């Protein structure tokens, strides 16, 4: 299996190269040349397998330059019950007789980013051994919350890697800040920036591309790599849980092999829902892909009209991990839908960069209509949905998942389609206890840990150990710097100053 770039079909690299490099030189994203096909008999074989075995099977189809031992090592190191709550890894909860919640947040940081960031360090170090001659990998992350913590947990004490995370001092929740500043591990560091997320992101990009810094690293047998969600090594593990969940539903006799199910995904950077689209293209019997957005509804508008327009107000919402105006992974979808027309993709994304907007052609629009349904809701509706689901089903969902539940209800009402639905549940409600409590009972204790206790009293849902334990953990990283000091901080951490 080789990988092309969405902006250059001439580019052809191995999976190890795609994962190590992260993004193609001309700015395109790496995509597999073709998608392996899973027919009913292959799926049937996976029905009796465990999550980790299903992962090994799917990964093996894409990472053909990895040995079987390497693939097993990566999958088994990431997906086990020391990292996740149980060996089920992706847990299914029944909301109604035809609606299933796919809980992707039973990993170490209580958000779905763990599904990919627990395995990425193994995929990346295995890849770097093949194409980068055992260089030490240095990863810089700018985060607005969930990604930073999940990346830190994934990479902590992984031999051959170093990680430095920058977060905006006043731009993350108290719980998210505590999760990061108490981070353990001898190869990681965390630093607050006096500025916003964009300052952190711009600073990281500048360091990445500064020739003097890059050379200093190279002289010491180090190289930069990236853990952000456009890396193929983050997307691929997400295909696994859609295939696995379908097989699990067959195993539990909830569906018949071949039965079509719809998938609903609370969407930000379009990674999670793109993985569901790829699973469908591989032959998984998926019907509609329902793309749910919050008040930042650029994707809803795009799917409904065919015009993408990022020139609009940015809304800070109670589902912050979906507060995004440029959904990077959409580029991969459009590349597939326009028949791998790399020139067209380059043109559209150049227009996005220069004017903030582009419009797809009628062929792509027709495919969007066929595959997708889009809906959005604001914070008020998100809270009302949390309350409604809690009152009706005694199920507590977090603020991101609630946006998806609302879209699922919209879809059923508008279309009458009663096919079974899998709703991706992307964070533990305890991670956003403040907004969840506000929605359910309107009373929110001041103290973060009192909020966890109060939500427990109401829901009797187990408090994730990882969050409860934070109270006892010492703060390891308390430095706060200006954006001008970021480069020096990186060099100091690597002892290259
Ligand atoms: C990152 C994130 C999302 C959005 O996922 P994308 O793959 O970026 O679309 C949704 N919910 C939560 C809780 C997240 O952390």
Q: Tokens in use for 13?
A: 């690299």
Q: Tokens in use for 9?
A: 């079909």
Considering the domain boundaries, does residue 119 fall inside one?
no
Q: What is the pTM of this model?
A: 0.95
Instruction: Provide the 8-state DSSP code for 215.
Output: H
Considering the domain boundaries, does residue 295 fall inside one?
yes
CA of 321 to the centre of ligand 1 (A): 5
Residue 343: which domain range?
91-111+234-464
CA of 259 to the centre of ligand 1 (A): 27
pLDDT at residue 170 in the model: 83
Write out pLDDT tens, residues 130-180.
Answer: 998 879 999 999 887 789 999 999 999 999 999 999 999 987 878 889 999
- The answer to whether 318 and 435 are in contact (CB under 8 A) is yes
Residue 437: CATH number of its domain: 3.40.50.1100
pLDDT at residue 364 in the model: 98
Provide the pLDDT confidence category of residue 383 given band limits of 50, 70 and 90: very high
- The answer to whether 356 and 386 are in contact (CB under 8 A) is no
DSSP 400-449: HHHHHHHHHHHHHHHH-----EEEEE-B-GGGGHHHHHHHHTS---SSHH
Write out pLDDT tens, residues 446-480.
Answer: 999 999 999 999 999 999 999 999 999 999 999 99
Considering the domain boundaries, does residue 423 fall inside one?
yes
CA of 255 to the centre of ligand 1 (A): 27
253 membership: H or E segment, kind and range: none
CA distance 25 to 28: 7
**Over 129-160, what HEC string results?**
HHHCCCCEEEEEEECCCHHHHHHHHHHCCCCC
Considering the domain boundaries, does residue 69 fall inside one?
no
pLDDT at residue 27 in the model: 86
Catalytic-role residue among 49, 113, 288, 420: 113
Write out pLDDT tens, residues 70-121.
Answer: 999 999 999 999 999 999 999 999 999 999 999 999 999 999 999 999 999 9
Q: By alpha-carbon position, which residue is closest to atom 14 of ligand 1?
A: 321
Write out pLDDT tens, residues 233-278.
Answer: 999 999 999 999 999 999 999 999 999 999 999 999 999 999 999 9
Ligand 1 nearest-atom number relative to CA 270 = 9
In this prediction, what percent of the chain has a pLDDT beyond 70?
100
Inform me whether the pLDDT recorded for 314 exceeds 90. Answer: no
pLDDT at residue 205 in the model: 83
Which residues, in sequence order, are bridge partners of residue 187? Answer: none
Considering the domain boundaries, does residue 481 fall inside one?
no
Mean pLDDT of 352-375: 97
Instruction: Provide the 8-state DSSP code for 184.
Output: -
- The answer to whether 92 and 413 are in contact (CB under 8 A) is no
Mean pLDDT of 292-312: 97
Considering the domain boundaries, does residue 181 fall inside one?
no
Provide the pLDDT confidence category of residue 298 given band limits of 50, 70 and 90: very high
pLDDT at residue 487 in the model: 95
- The answer to whether 46 and 57 are in contact (CB under 8 A) is yes
Chain mean pLDDT for the chain:
95
Inform me whether the pLDDT recorded for 209 exceeds 90. Answer: no
Considering the domain boundaries, does residue 241 fall inside one?
yes
Write out pLDDT tens, residues 183-199.
Answer: 999 999 999 999 888 78
Q: Tokens in use for 357?
A: 């907007």
C-alpha dist (Å) from residue 120 to 57, 164, 268, 319, 321: 17, 16, 20, 25, 20
**Annotation marks residue 83 as catalytic:** no
Write out pLDDT tens, residues 392-439.
Answer: 999 999 999 999 999 999 999 999 999 999 999 999 999 999 999 999
Rg of the chain taking only CA atoms, in angstroms: 22
Q: Tokens in use for 220?
A: 């010491």
CA distance 110 to 225: 25
Total of domains in the chain: 1
Q: Tell me whether strands 3-5 and 30-32 are parallel, antiparallel or unpaired.
A: antiparallel
Provide the pLDDT confidence category of residue 208 given band limits of 50, 70 and 90: confident
CA of 276 to the centre of ligand 1 (A): 14
| Ligand 1, pocket-test mutation among 241, 296, 322, most atoms within 8 A of CB | 322
pLDDT at residue 2 in the model: 98
pLDDT at residue 14 in the model: 98
Residue environment code for 425-438, b if the CB has 16+ CB neighbours within 10 A, otherwise e: bbbbbbbbbbbbbb
**Which residues approach ligand 1 with their CB closer than 6 A?**
111-113, 146, 229, 266-272, 321-322, 400, 426-427
Considering the domain boundaries, does residue 188 fall inside one?
no
Provide the pLDDT confidence category of residue 365 given band limits of 50, 70 and 90: very high
Inform me whether the pLDDT recorded for 55 exceeds 90. Answer: yes
Ligand 1 nearest-atom number relative to CA 401 = 11
């Amino acid at each position: 299996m080789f990988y092309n770039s969405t902006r250059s079909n001439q580019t052809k690299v191995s999976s190890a190269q795609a994962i190590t490099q992260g993004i193609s030189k001309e700015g395109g994203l790496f995509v597999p040349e073709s998608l392996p096909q899973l027919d009913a008999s292959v799926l049937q074989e996976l029905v009796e397998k465990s999550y980790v075995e299903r992962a090994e099977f799917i990964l093996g189809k894409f990472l053909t330059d990895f040995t079987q031992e390497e693939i097993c090592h990566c999958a088994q190191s990431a997906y086990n019950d020391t990292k996740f709550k149980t060996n089920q890894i992706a847990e299914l909860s029944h909301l109604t007789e035809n609606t299933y919640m796919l809980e992707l947040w039973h990993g170490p940081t209580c958000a779905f980013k763990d599904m990919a960031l627990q395995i990425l360090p193994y995929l990346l170090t295995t890849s770097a051994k093949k194409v980068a001659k055992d260089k030490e990998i240095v990863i810089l992350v700018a985060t607005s919350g969930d990604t930073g913590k999940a990346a830190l947990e994934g990479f902590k004490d992984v031999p051959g890697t170093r990680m430095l995370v920058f977060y905006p001092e006043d731009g993350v929740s108290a719980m998210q800040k505590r999760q990061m500043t108490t981070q353990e591990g001898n190869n990681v560091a965390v630093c607050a920036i006096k500025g916003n997320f964009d300052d952190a992101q711009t600073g990281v990009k500048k360091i990445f591309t500064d020739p003097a810094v890059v050379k200093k690293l190279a002289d010491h047998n180090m190289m930069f790599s990236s853990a952000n969600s456009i890396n193929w090594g983050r997307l691929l593990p997400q295909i696994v849980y859609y295939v696995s969940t379908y097989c699990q539903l067959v195993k539990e006799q909830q569906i018949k092999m071949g039965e079509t199910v719809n998938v609903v995904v609370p969407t930000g950077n379009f990674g999670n829902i793109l993985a569901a689209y790829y699973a469908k293209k591989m032959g998984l019997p998926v019907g509609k892909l329902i793309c749910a957005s919050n008040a930042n509804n650029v994707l809803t508008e795009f799917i409904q009209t065919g015009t993408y327009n990022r020139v609009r107000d940015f809304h800070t919402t109670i589902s912050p991990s979906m507060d995004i105006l440029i959904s990077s992974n959409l580029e991969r979808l459009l590349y597939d839908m326009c028949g791998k027309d790399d020139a067209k993709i380059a043109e559209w994304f150049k227009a996005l960069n220069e004017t903030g907007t582009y419009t797809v052609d009628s062929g792509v629009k027709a495919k969007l209509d066929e595959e997708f349904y889009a809906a959005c809701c604001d914070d008020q509706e998100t809270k009302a949905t949390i309350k409604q689901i809690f009152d009706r089903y005694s199920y507590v969902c977090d603020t991101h998942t609630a946006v998806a539940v609302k879209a699922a209800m919209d879809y059923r009402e508008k279309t009458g389609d009663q096919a079974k639905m899998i709703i991706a549940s992307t964070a533990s409600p305890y991670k956003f206890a403040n907004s969840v409590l506000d929605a359910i009972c309107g009373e929110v204790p001041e103290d973060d840990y009192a909020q966890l206790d109060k939500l427990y009293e109401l829901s009797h849902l187990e408090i994730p150990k990882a969050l409860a334990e934070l109270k006892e953990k010492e703060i390891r990283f308390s430095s706060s710097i200006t954006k001008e000091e970021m480069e020096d901080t990186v060099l100091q951490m690597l002892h290259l100053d």
